[in-house]
Structures are given as C-alpha cells and as structure tokens.
Amino acid sequence: MIRLPLLESSAPDRFPDPRSALRDPNGLLAFGGDLSPARLLAAYGQGIFPWYGEGEPILWWSPDPRCVFRTDALRVNRSLRRQLRGKPWRISVDQAFDAVIHACAAPREEGGGTWIVPEMMAAYSALHRLGHAHSVEVWDDARLVGGIYGVAVGRLFCGESMFSAESGGSKLALMALAGLLRQWGWPLIDAQVANAHTLGLGAEEMPREDYLREAARLIILPGRMGSWASHSSPIQPGDRGCA
C-alpha cells in the first residue's frame, strides 16, 4: 500500500522534501491541496509539479532523474530550416496563451486522454494573468500551428506542454523559447519526465539532486523585466531569437 503525505490547505508553500518522493512510481511525492497561484509557484520553486488525470486527486511529483533542455544547446538545425523553407510562419509570445493550453489539452492522434484537465487549464490561465505563465505561439497567417507554455520562476522556465497542428510547429516554438531565454541568461527549461520525443529534440536527464541545486540557484535570480509579449511579431524562424 502506498502512503502519501496529504498537503494542508492552510499552508500552500509547504511540501515534503522532494528527496522523499517514491521510486515507484518514480517521483510521486504527495497528494491533495489545490492549484492556487501561491501553491503552484511554491511547488515549482521547490522542484515539484502537479500531474494527475480526470477523476484523480491532485498528485505532486519530483522525479529522479529530471528531464531538462539546456537553452544554449537548442538551435534551429538544418533539417528544420529545410522543413520551414517557404512557409510564411511567424512567432509570437503571450499572444494566445489560452488557445495554446487548449490545443495542448486536445486529444492526440495516437489516442488516449489528457492530463490537462479543466481545473489545470484554469489554474495556469490564472498564473498567466498574473504574469507567471507564458506561451510561445507559431502562426500560419491567422491559424495557430504550434505552441508551448510553462511557468517562469526567477530565471527557471518550467515547461508544461507543447503541441503541433503542422509538422515542425512545436519544435519551432521550443527553439524560439530557448532562443529568448538564452538571450536573457536563463540556462534551463524543465521538461519534467523524459520521453522519446523530448530526448529526440535535445533534452537530457539530470540527477534530481543536481536539478534541485540548480533550481534553487535560479529561482532567486531576477527574472524577465517587462512584458514578454513585446517579443511578438519581429521573431521569425531564421532570426537570432530562435537561431
């Protein structure tokens, strides 16, 4: 029988030590609580994130190892440039956050449900309105063809999900995000749990202890000043922002 700590509703910043998370299932740490902005920001700052399905209690995780992208290692490679050649795509930032999260929550072609349940969409949209959650969008004229969203804490970006409506859409959104963060001195994008897709895009696995140490350093650094949305239309697939 699995015994997990129940989070207290009166203490949104209190979590068990991530190092006490279960090995099987990998990283399961606690349950309960809520998805308030204060609790979500406290969780990400401590290397913890929510992940659960429809009809389940809120589950909190901190897996070992942790999957991350290093922003200085992500660039638009030749194959993606060839794929994008001739496409009139443009990139924006924080112009369609709700549309991106809804697209990420939509059923995938391979079938299966989604872990981005309605209460999660509402919670991250609230974080976005408060200036803590951000999205990068890829457009073909007025059609959204790709995007990624996540949470910024200090100089750590915690990626949540990405989608493609056209081949290359999510990859370009990721590369554009990495390019902006690299310019601002943000070294990591947290990708939580590795899979074949993220590893194929250039992610790597980092021991949880190393990740927690790096996250603790980054979250106390000053983050991005001003509006992320100011980086809208000028960014194009071949620009320095995503090169």
pLDDT of residue 231: 66
Query: Which of residues 226 and 205 earns the better pLDDT score?
Result: 205
pTM attached to this predicted model: 0.91
* Position 1 pLDDT exceeds 90: no
Do 35 and 95 lie in one domain? The reply is: no
Same domain, 57 and 106: no
Within 8 A by CB and 6+ apart from 66, the residues are 47, 190, 192, 205, 206, 207, 208, 211
Q: Which of 45, 63, 81 is the last residue of a domain?
A: 63
Q: How far is CA 217 from CA 61, 186, 220, 240, in A?
A: 20, 11, 6, 27
Residues 58 and 74 placed together within one structural domain of the fold: no
* Whether residue 119 sits in one domain with residue 84: yes
Question: Same domain, yes or no, for 14 and 124?
Answer: no
Asked whether the predicted pLDDT for residue 111 surpasses 70, the reply is: no
Position 9 scores a pLDDT of 83
Number of domains in the chain: 2
pLDDT above 80 (res 110): no
* Model pLDDT for residues 120-143, shown as the tens digit of each residue: 999 999 999 999 999 999 999 999
Amino acid at 48: I
Q: Are 43 and 14 part of one and the same domain?
A: yes
* Residue 49 · residue 133 · CB < 8 Å: no
State the CATH number of the domain containing residue 21.
3.30.70.3550
Kindly report the number of other CB atoms within 10 A of residue 167's CB atom: 11
**Per-residue pLDDT, 85:** 79
Say if residue 155 is in the same domain as residue 92. Answer: yes
Using an 8 Å Cβ cutoff, are 140 and 88 in contact?
A: yes
**Residues 27 and 111 reside in one and the same domain:** no
Q: Are 37 and 126 in contact (CB under 8 A)?
A: yes
Residue range 51-92, pLDDT digits in tens: 999 899 999 999 999 999 999 998 777 777 787 777 889 999
Q: Tell me, yes or no, whether 50 and 102 share the same domain.
A: no
123, part of any domain: yes
Residue 1 lies in a domain: no
Q: 156 lies in a domain?
A: yes
Residue 87 lies in a domain: yes
205 found inside a domain: yes
User: What is the average per-residue pLDDT within 210-223?
Assistant: 96
Q: What is the pLDDT of residues 113-123, one digit of tens each?
A: 568 999 999 99
Among 63, 80, 106, identify where a domain stops.
63
Q: Are residues 35 and 151 in the same domain?
A: no
Same domain for 46 and 114, yes or no, is no
Within this chain, do residues 152 and 192 fall inside the same structural domain, yes or no? yes
The CATH number assigned to the domain holding 172 equals 3.40.630.70
Pairwise pLDDT comparison (224 vs 32), residue with the higher score: 32
Contact 43, 35 (CB under 8 A): no
Parent domain of 52: 6-63
Mean confidence (pLDDT) of the chain: 90
Contacts of 200 (CB under 8 A, 6+ apart): none
Cα separations (Å) of 186 from 110, 176, 177, 211, 232?
33, 13, 11, 14, 19
**Of all helices (H) and strands (E), which one includes residue 196?**
helix 196-200
Residue 4 has pLDDT above 70, yes or no: yes
Query: What pLDDT, on the 0 to 100 scale, is given for residue 202?
Result: 92
Place of tokens 């920001």: 41
Asked if the model's pLDDT at residue 151 lies above 90, the reply is yes
